[in-house]
């Protein structure tokens, strides 16, 4: 089973990289762009056929390593 993990900064946490991207888009004349937020995307293969068990495992991975839950949220998609 493949896990697709999206990690984003929590709302309210300043994202200077997102701000810089926003500025660069504006300098390329893309108007009407707001609230750019940059995140991470991680893909992994997991040796598990049961979706519930796989979800629990990937959740634990996110909690323990992949995301910093002080500042980041994560979403897991199993396919």
Partner 1 sequence: MKSAIVLFPGINRERDMFKALTAVGGTEPKFVWHTESEIPECDLIVVPGGFSYGDYLRCGAIAARCPVMAALRRHADHGVRVLGVCNGFQILIEAGLLPGALMRNANLRFVCKHVRLSIENSSTFFTLGMSVGDVVSCPVAHGDGNFFADPDTLERLEKDNRVVFRYAEGSNPNGSINDIAGIVNEAGNVVGMMPHPENMIEPLHGATDCRPLFESLLNAA
Cβ proximity to partner 1: between 50 and 69 the closer is 69
Please report which residue ranges of the chain form alpha helices under DSSP H.
Answer: 16-27, 51-61
Cβ proximity to partner 1: between 48 and 72 the closer is 72
For the four alpha carbons of 63, 68, 69 and 73, in that order, the dihedral sign comes to: negative
Contact residues: partner 1, CB under 8 A: 13-14, 16-17, 20, 64-66, 68, 70-71
CB of 60 to partner 1, least distance (A): 13
CB of 52 to partner 1, least distance (A): 26
For the four alpha carbons of 36, 75, 66 and 71, in that order, the dihedral sign comes to: positive
């Amino acid at each position: 089973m493949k896990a697709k993990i999206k990690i984003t900064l929590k709302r309210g946490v300043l994202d200077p990289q997102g701000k810089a991207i926003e500025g660069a888009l504006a300098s390329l004349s893309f108007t009407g762009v707001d609230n750019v937020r940059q995140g991470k995307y991680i893909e992994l293969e997991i040796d598990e056929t049961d979706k519930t068990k796989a979800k629990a495992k990937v959740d634990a991975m996110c909690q323990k390593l992949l995301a910093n839950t002080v500042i980041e949220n994560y979403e897991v998609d199993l396919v």
